[in-house]
Chain A
Amino acid sequence: MGKMILVVDNQPVIREFLVNLLAREGHTPVVAEDGLSALSAMKDHLPDVLITDLVMPNIDGAKLCRIVRGTPDYRNMFIIILSAIAAEQEVDLKALGANACIAKGPLNKMKDHVLAVLSRPVLDPSDFSQKNLFGTDEIFARKITRELLSSKRHAEIIIENMAEGILEVTQTGDIISANRSVISRGCRNLPWRAPARSQASFRRG
């Protein structure tokens, strides 16, 4: 049976390829170019499956997963990570709240992995087994990727623990993250804490 599948990637080549593939297989694809757009798209089309990249502007794939897993209306969503990072570093599915991870690679390999996951009789959103890593057989840890991720994590930890309240705001005024200090001061109406209908619509002012 065809599924509603939301594809989130800032690379249009990947979006187009997956839309063509999924439509041919009888699914209904919906696309978004980053996590923020994905949250907006979910208001109109509640997907059965979310296929998302990790490195994206605005709300990235890891934050998107966290928001989805923290939103009761989205609890049945099966999440597949599709990222080039997966070919360079082992992705921790449980930590991300994701159910499968496919390394970006040549089109034919990617297609085989995506279809293999989607053709399962049951897509269990509570299955976070590390067995569900695909195309990652030849992981070669690249220093550059490690540094990029490590530097990103380092910056996030510093921001999270600052006494000052820090908000990350897009050019259009959408608040996409806030540190602990903001939350402790009572500002709770942020995307990952808001009811589904108001996600990604909390605006400055």
Chain B
Amino acid sequence: MDIPGKAAELEIEEEEYRSLLRLFLTNAATEVEQIEAAIRADDLMEVARLAHSLKGASATLGLTELLSIVESMDASARARTLSPTDARLSLLKQRIGQISESIVAGRG
């Protein structure tokens, strides 16, 4: 992930952007797990609420790929075609993991 490029695009200091990303990551993994649990419980309102939170933060931080994955999953949940084993959940976790690695490695 190009962290300096994203920070410049969002007109924010790189260090502050990294700090916000760390904060995002602290909650994102938990929220994805909660989305999985809500899908298993067939609780669409909860899926929509969690997706809303994740979408808001992704859009704010310019994480457009995460945003489109969550939007797509939210739409499928509404159409009742989203299962707890949906490949997009794995993709979401993978992308979140990659952002985390970029920060830990201090690269990007």
Contact = CB atoms under 8 A, between A and B. Distances in A.
Contact of B59 (A12, A53, A106): A106
Nearest to A143: B78
A12 B10 contact: no
B9 to A, nearest CB: 8
Interface string B50-67: 001101110111100000
User: Chain A contact residues: over half helix, strand or loop, or mixed?
Assistant: helix
B23 interface: yes
B45 interface: yes
A107 B10 contact: yes
A151 B78 CA distance: 12
A144 B11 contact: no
User: Chain B contact residues: over half helix, strand or loop, or mixed?
Assistant: helix
Interface in A114-149: 143-144, 147-148
B27 A12 contact: yes
Interface string B34-59: 00000000000100110011011101
Interface residues of B, number: 26
B48 A144 contact: yes
Most central of A13, A14, A17, A20 by chain B CB within 10 Å = A13
A21 to B, nearest CB: 10
A85 B57 CA distance: 13
A105 B16 contact: no
B20 A17 contact: yes
Contacts of B16: 20
27 contacts: A10-B53, A11-B53, A11-B57, A12-B23, A13-B23, A13-B61, A14-B56, A16-B23, A55-B49, A55-B52, A84-B52, A84-B55, A84-B56, A84-B59, A85-B52, A104-B59, A105-B59, A105-B60, A107-B12, A107-B60, A107-B61, A108-B9, A108-B11, A144-B75, A144-B78, A148-B48, A148-B52
